[in-house]
Every structure is written in C-alpha cells, then in structure tokens.
Structure 1
Amino acid sequence: MRTSATPASTADNETGPPPARSSRRAWVVTGLLLVFMLINFADKAVLGLAAKPIIQEFGLSPSEYGLLQSGFYALYGISAIAVGFLSNRVSTKWILLVMALVWAFTMLPVIWPVGFAVLLVSRIVLGAAEGPANPMAMHAAHKWFPNEKRSLPSALLNVGGGIGAAVAAPVLTTVIIAFGWRWAFFALFAIGIVWVLLWLVLGEEGTIAGAARDRQTSGGGIDEPHVPYRRILLSGTGFGAFFNAFVSYWGLALLISWVPPYFQIVLGYSASETGTLLVLPWVANALFVLGQGLLSEWLMRRGVSSRLARGVLGGVAVMIAGIAMVLFPLTAGGLQLVLMTVAFSLGAIVFAIGSTVNSEISPARQRGAVLSIYTAAATTAGLIAPYVTGRIIEAAATPATGYTIGFTVAGVLLLLGGLLAALIVRPERDARRLGVDGACEVVAR
C-alpha cells in the first residue's frame, strides 16, 4: 500500500490484481467515500438545525447568525485550492484521513459552555477542513473509473450529502430536543472517529482499476500536455459549470442556514416538525442526484453527447429549481412543501455534473487541482448567501417579507445559472480545444 505517489510512479510500477477484485475494491472505496460525504453534510447541517436555541442562547440578530453561518466558508475555498494542488503529489488516502480527523475534533470545543467567538472559530476551522472534501472524494473515486463510467460514482458521492442531511435532520433534532444542542456536536465527533478508523483499514488509492486515460497518460501511452488552468476554468464548460454550481450552492447554503429558522419563525412549525420536514428536500436531493447519474450514464452509453447528457440536463434542472424557488414562499400548504422540496433539491445534480465535466476537460495530472479550484469558486456562494440573506431579512418590514425577497433573489440566480450552463457547457468541444483525450473516451467506444 502506498502512502504517497504521483500518478506517474504508480502507473509505471503497478500491474495489479485481477479485474474482479479491482472492481470490488473500487466500490468498497466508493462506499466509504459516500459515508465521508454523508458526515460532511451532517457537520454542515447541525448549526442550522440548532439555529433557534443558538440564536436564543447567544442573543443573535439575523445578520449575526448569518455571519456565523458564512464564517464556515471563510477559509473553505482557499483550503480547497491548496489541498487540490497538494493532491497532485500526496496520496488522497492520507489527505482524506487528516481532513476527517480535523472535522471530528472541531466538534469538541462547543460541547462545553463557550462564547460566540469559540463557536465561530470552530466553524471556520471546520470549513477549512471540509473545503477540499468534495473534490478530494471525487478525485479519489475517479482514479478507479474511466470517464464514461464516472457519472454513477460521482452521483453517489453527491447523494451522500442528501442522505447525510436527511438522516441528520430528524436524528440530530431529536438529540437537540432531548439533550441540548451541544450533544448533537458530540455525536458527530464520535461518528467522525469511527469513519477514520474504517478508512485507515479499508481505504486504498485507485491505481489499478482506474481510468484508462489516466493510466495511459501517466504510463507513457498518451502524452497529455500541461494546460494553463485559466484555459480550463474559463472555457465554456469550465465557466458554465462553475456558475451553475455557484447559484446552486447559493440555494444549498440557504437550505442549511435559513430554511430551518424560516419554518419555525415564519411558518410556525415546532422544532421536531421542522426536523421532519427538512428530510423532504434532502431525500429528494439524493434521489435526483442518483437519478442524474444513472440517466447521464444511460444516455452516454447510447451515444448521446456529454453536452446533452450533462450540460443541458444540468442547466434545465437548475432553471426548474429557480422557478420553484421564486414561487414557494408565495404559496401555502402542500403545494408550498412540494415547491420548497424542488427548489432546494433539483439543482444539486449539478455538483456531480460539474465535477464530471471538469474531469472530462482536464489532463489527468491536473484534475485534482482543477476540481478543487472549481469547488472553491462555486462554494464562495456559501460565504456570501447566508450573510446577504440575513441582511435582507433584517432590513425588511417583517421577517416574512425578508425571507420572500431572499428566496426570490436565489431563484433569479438559479434561472440565470441554468440558462448559461445549457448554452455553453460543451465538454467534447472544449476537451478537443484543450488537447485532452477525454473527448475521445466519450465518443469512441
């Protein structure tokens, strides 16, 4: 087992076990990464689930609570980029192990009576450790699968977020009601330590059954050039995927930070009812993301272009989410819950799509850094959205009016991002323009 190796060194020296064992190991690793992402989103969601008692205990205004939520993203993007470049040289197994350890220990300080500053600092450190989570998990999984088979594992890893929050919402809410909000943080500490132990034993770097292009590139079969990062990220595919993910993450940040208090303060639901209802968008999130992975892979196996199977599909989904976002605060009852569910779940499919299309247009040696830069840029929405929405709510005549304006702003952004992605995300074209052989993998089967 290797502790650190560049793709070149591992590809040159590894012949590997039989394909059946490699395939099994690929899915074991993917399963562990799925749980990794589950914990990742549970850590994010816990503050929103405990919003009401935290606001009451610390006497926070809407803008102060928004600042606390935004603080999570203070170092999120910087860390994602730094670790992304580090992953070009260091094994993702050990990077993921260290990240998970930091997540776990950032839960501990707040289990004792602390001030607002300690809570804020713990969230900032947690955000720094979680920033690289999605790109590193994707990078680790993509080492085990060729391009045309990456849609499903990419979707599964993003499903982890939906499952994590869907499980966390009722379970952690029950813990908060029964024992207090600090015990919810302790529970996440314990779960994180268990995952670290499992990963230490079962985690493995994907160098045997990995992508054909990656093996050929690093082993000398294909000499992929080093492409300037600005060309990758500012291509139609790179920029379209980024902006679509940015606006979708804006909505996700509101789901985590402002939807729980909206349910309780404006709609009048109890804490337990809120925890139950919040399962809806997260379960739908998981179903939509998994469905996207299956549908995209099915379409591409039948010769449909990556532009249609990934770019257009993601763009249309985000536009539908935008329409639902604008409408749901204007309705009531069952229709409102349906629209809310669509608004905060359907757009999530673009996180998997964005990672997949960026992998498609990136040289293998640069993929970890590209995915990290993409994630860092897209998740800056998490730094902006909670605080801006808090200011909007604070400035409005009533909380209900403020929430409506905040959700409308998010809806308009979703419409713009989805339209742009549908028009300019064209992975095959951009892969050819950048001199990356991923385009050949997609169309030549």
Structure 2
Amino acid sequence: MTTSALPVDRKRAWLITGLLLAFMLINFADKAVLGLAAGPIMEHIGLSSSQYGLIASGFFLLFSISAIVGGIISDRVPTKWMLVVMAVLWSVAQLPLLAPLGAFGFWVVLGSRVLLGAAEGPAYPVANRAAHTWFPDRDRDLVSGILTIGAPLGVVLAAPGLTWVISTFGWRAAFVVMAVVGLIWVAVWLRFGADGPAPQLEATKEKLVEPVTGTATAAPVPYWRILATRTWIGSVLAGFAGYWALAVMIAWIPIYFAKVLGFSGAVIGWLVAIPWGLMALSMIIQGTLSRSLMNRGVSSRITRGAVTSIALLLCGACIFTSLAVETVWLKIALLCLGLGMSAVAVPIGQALCSELSPPGRNGGVLGAYAAVYSLSGIIAPALTGRLLDGAADPAEGFNLAFVLCAVILLAAGVIAGLLIHPQSDHTRLAKRAAKHSLQRSPAPTLAVGDR
C-alpha cells in the first residue's frame, strides 16, 4: 500500500493548505513591512545604512536556531498548536514599535525584529510539515510551492496597502495592522485547523525504515547522515543563494527604488509588488511542471535538481544584465526577474528534504534546511548596508551589492546541478540503514532438536 492509496479527505486537505497559505502570506508581510517603512523609520530615528542593515539582519539572528528547534519539536508536538503559538508571537512582536522610541530607537526596533525572527523561524518548515501530512510525495512539490506563494502574495497584496497606511497614518500604523491580521488568522485556525493523518502516511512511506530481511527492523537514520548527502548539501546551498536574493529584496529594494531610481512612495508600493508577483508566478509554474513530470515518471534529479540549477543560473544572468542597461524600466524588469524568481530554489529544497527523510526525521531535516539557508538573511542585509555606507553614492553601493548577489546565484546554480541526485542518495542511505539493522539483530538460536 503506498501513500497515494491512503484514504485522505482531499477537500479538508486543500482547506488546510489554504489556511497555511494565509499563514505564510502574513509571515512575509510581517517581514516586508520594515522595508516599506524603512525611509520614515530611518529619518525618524536617524539611522545610517549600516544601522538599518543591522536591524534588517537582526530578524534572522535567532531565525536559524528557532528553525532547527521548531523543526525537531514538530516531530513530537502537534503542528496545529505550534502554528498558534508562532502567530500570536508575531503579533506581540509588533507592540514595542508603538511606544515612543527616543534615544533607544535603534535598540527597540532591533529587539522587535529579533523577537519576530525567532517566532517566524520555524514557520516555513512547520507549515510544510503540517501540509505534507495531508498529501502523498508526488503532490508535495505543488503543495510546498503553494505555501511558498504565500511569501510573494503577502507582499503583492500588502505592499500597496501598507504603503498607503504609512503615508496616511504614519509608519507605526502599518505594524498595528499586521498585529491585528495575525490575531484574526489565529482565531480562524483554531476553528478549522488540524494535523493530517501523519502516522498512517509515515508508516507506509517507502523510505529507509522498510526491513530488508525477514525479521530485522531497519535502524533509525541519524540526522547527520541525511544532512551529509550530496542532495541535501546541494539543495541547501541553492536555498542559501535564493534566500540571499530574497533578503536583499525584502530589506533594500524599496530604498533602491527611492534613492537610486527616484520613485515616490506611492509608486514604490506598486513597484515592490512586481518581483514578488514574478516569484508567485515562478512558484506556480515550477510546482505544476514538477508534478506533471513526476507523474510521467521523470526522475526528481531532473524535476527538482536540474530545475533548481537552471533557475539560479538564469536569475544570476538577469541581475548581471540589469546593471549594464540604461533604460530604467528594462533595468527594473531584469532586476525583478533575477531577484524574484531565485526563491524558487526554496520550495524545491523542501520537497527534496521530504524525499530524503525517513519517518520521525522529516521535521528535523526541514528545520535544519531552513536554518542553514536562512543564514544568508543575517549576512546579506547587513553587508549591503556596509557597501552602501562605503560607496561614493547609493548607486555605486547598490551595484556592488547586486554583483555580489549575482555571483552567489551563479555559483549555487552550478553546484546544485552537480550535487543534487536524490535517488542515488536515498539508495545509499537505505543500504546503510539495512546494514546497520542486520548488525544489530541478534543471532538466531538453535532448538535442541536442531543440534
């Protein structure tokens, strides 16, 4: 019996997916609101580019650690309640920004973003964990892609509205809006949210725990063996590169549009939505294409590994080309393509983690994946701020930051194409687990009559 044959309420599964999509939408709107309000905040507090970069990076300071811890906990605690706790903390993290900031403004904003990052760290792996329990493996690329669409949709829907709120009511009002929206989601999730039939799905997964001989039970696969596979390393490096571009886009693109290209706040809200809209489109195309190819028997080395490699190479090339053109709208189009579509590597990596992981290891592996790729979120915004402060003008600083981003994307694209091979790594892990289980099995005893 395979996972696709298990009785699953498909309508309920897609309802849960829709709620988790809204969860991720709020998640990234919370991330993006700082960038949208960056200009007024920097002016109000008197921040330099380096200080603002540190605040933007501060979001990811505990993000990686909480992603690992949350992923492991999700293997033991119902994801329904983990999601409730996280969403409540998101709303609480906005409250310090409503107080008078004064001389401690830098530290108050930094502390708020660190708390928000700690609460959001496990969001993506836990949301994927919750959704994957409702679907067989062949559907998980599509499901992970849908959840990742919550990121761009959150900004596409929120950027124009939040920009209007900021210009009309002040930057603090935008954070109030996000706090209220988070609490509304919690109320709806408590009514309709639930974990899927994970025990049945995992018990029948055709993964590493299937016994190879008659009485031997396969040993649990250590986390480190999964994380040492070529596929996991290739996918996490690809995710690191894609998230680097995403972190730059979240923190700095609104400022780039204002300071370098000279657009006003009202227009910036709509311009910011462009790369996020392209990201959503790329997620839909990738998820649909991957599912179609896998249903036709195409290996995941192609549907996941090759697609990741090609996407990152194209994105790096787009960013490089944007620096060479003079036409403003062509520059914007190429830059938005390169930054927006690079994040397609993240949901593919999530699906690869699920493909490699045996029962009881999926949440931890997904958490480790999120923890490593999100490290680029700590580095990219702060380094971009330093480049801006050290440059002769904002245009030169942004050009240096975009060149660095393009190089990282191109290098990761090559590495992903060379390393990602899930079938080979899956077979190797299964053989190791089977060998270890045979070594642990007690030798058979002979009955008296057999002597």
Q: TM-score, normalised by structure 2?
A: 0.89
Q: Is the 8 A contact 2:149 2:279 kept in 1?
A: yes
What SS does the corresponding residue of 1:226 show, helix, strand or coil?
coil
Q: Is the 8 A contact 1:162 1:282 kept in 2?
A: yes
Report the counterpart of residue 185 of structure 2 in structure 1: 195
Pair 231,344 (structure 1): closer, same or farther in 2 beyond 3 Å: same
What amino acid maps onto 1:434 in structure 2?
L
Report the counterpart of residue 117 of structure 2 in structure 1: 127
Aligned pairs (5 A) from 1:160-179: 160-179=150-169
Whether 1:257 aligns to 2:247 is: no
Whether 1:384 aligns to 2:379 is: yes
Pair 327,24 (structure 1): closer, same or farther in 2 beyond 3 Å: same
Tell me how far apart the structure 1 counterparts of residues 222 and 188 of structure 2 sit (CA, whole Å).
38
Tell me how far apart the structure 2 counterparts of residues 329 and 386 of structure 1 sit (CA, whole Å).
19
Shift of 1:234: 2.0
Report the counterpart of residue 10 of structure 1 in structure 2: none
Pair 204,220 (structure 1): closer, same or farther in 2 beyond 3 Å: farther
Divergent runs of 4+, >3 A: 18-21, 208-225
Tell me how far apart the structure 2 counterparts of residues 432 and 291 of structure 1 sit (CA, whole Å).
29
Q: Is the 8 A contact 1:41 1:165 kept in 2?
A: yes
Shift of 1:242: 0.4
Tell me how far apart the structure 1 counterparts of residues 195 and 431 of structure 2 sit (CA, whole Å).
23
Structure 2: runs of 5+ lacking an equivalent: 433-451
Whether 1:23 aligns to 2:10 is: yes
Report the counterpart of residue 78 of structure 1 in structure 2: 65
Shift of 1:310: 0.6
What SS does the corresponding residue of 2:320 show, helix, strand or coil?
helix
What amino acid maps onto 2:317 in structure 1?
I
Range that drifts further, 205-214 or 314-323: 205-214
Pair 148,19 (structure 1): closer, same or farther in 2 beyond 3 Å: closer
What amino acid maps onto 1:259 in structure 2?
I
Aligned pairs (5 A) from 1:42-441: 42-114=29-101, 115-207=105-197, 211=201, 225-331=219-325, 332-435=327-430
RMSD (Å) for aligned C-alpha atoms: 2.0
Q: Is the 8 A contact 2:32 2:155 kept in 1?
A: yes
Q: Is the 8 A contact 2:6 2:201 kept in 1?
A: no
Shift of 1:169: 1.1
Pair 409,214 (structure 1): closer, same or farther in 2 beyond 3 Å: farther
Shift of 1:362: 0.9
Shift of 1:208: 6.4
Q: Is the 8 A contact 1:225 1:435 kept in 2?
A: no
Tell me how far apart the structure 1 counterparts of residues 323 and 127 of structure 2 sit (CA, whole Å).
35
What amino acid maps onto 2:192 in structure 1?
L
Tell me how far apart the structure 1 counterparts of residues 7 and 72 of structure 2 sit (CA, whole Å).
32
Tell me how far apart the structure 2 counterparts of residues 276 and 300 of structure 1 sit (CA, whole Å).
36
Tell me how far apart the structure 1 counterparts of residues 253 and 425 of structure 2 sit (CA, whole Å).
38
Q: Is the 8 A contact 1:22 1:209 kept in 2?
A: no
Tell me how far apart the structure 2 counterparts of residues 149 and 61 of structure 1 sit (CA, whole Å).
46
Tell me how far apart the structure 2 counterparts of residues 303 and 215 of structure 1 sit (CA, whole Å).
18
Pair 210,202 (structure 1): closer, same or farther in 2 beyond 3 Å: farther
Shift of 1:436: 8.5
Shift of 1:118: 1.4
Shift of 1:333: 2.1
Structure 1: runs of 5+ lacking an equivalent: 1-17, 438-445
Range that drifts further, 407-416 or 116-125: 116-125
Tell me how far apart the structure 1 counterparts of residues 169 and 294 of structure 2 sit (CA, whole Å).
50
What amino acid maps onto 1:368 in structure 2?
G
Tell me how far apart the structure 2 counterparts of residues 198 and 269 of structure 1 sit (CA, whole Å).
38
Q: Is the 8 A contact 1:19 1:209 kept in 2?
A: no
Larger Cα-atom Rg:
2
Tell me how far apart the structure 2 counterparts of residues 316 and 210 of structure 1 sit (CA, whole Å).
36
What amino acid maps onto 1:67 in structure 2?
L
Tell me how far apart the structure 2 counterparts of residues 248 and 210 of structure 1 sit (CA, whole Å).
34
Aligned length: 420
Range that drifts further, 107-116 or 176-185: 107-116
Tell me how far apart the structure 2 counterparts of residues 143 and 299 of structure 1 sit (CA, whole Å).
22
Tell me how far apart the structure 1 counterparts of residues 268 and 274 of structure 2 sit (CA, whole Å).
10
Once the two structures are aligned, what percentage of the paired residues are identical?
Answer: 44
What amino acid maps onto 2:279 in structure 1?
N
Q: Is the 8 A contact 2:245 2:343 kept in 1?
A: no
Tell me how far apart the structure 2 counterparts of residues 65 and 371 of structure 1 sit (CA, whole Å).
30
Q: Is the 8 A contact 1:224 1:436 kept in 2?
A: no
Q: Is the 8 A contact 1:84 1:136 kept in 2?
A: yes
Tell me how far apart the structure 1 counterparts of residues 310 and 399 of structure 2 sit (CA, whole Å).
23
Shift of 1:217: 7.6
What SS does the corresponding residue of 2:360 show, helix, strand or coil?
helix
Q: Is the 8 A contact 2:66 2:122 kept in 1?
A: yes
Q: Is the 8 A contact 1:144 1:210 kept in 2?
A: no
Pair 397,220 (structure 1): closer, same or farther in 2 beyond 3 Å: closer
Shift of 1:149: 1.4
What SS does the corresponding residue of 2:428 show, helix, strand or coil?
helix
Q: Is the 8 A contact 1:110 1:118 kept in 2?
A: yes
Q: TM-score, normalised by structure 1?
A: 0.91
Tell me how far apart the structure 1 counterparts of residues 6 and 192 of structure 2 sit (CA, whole Å).
18
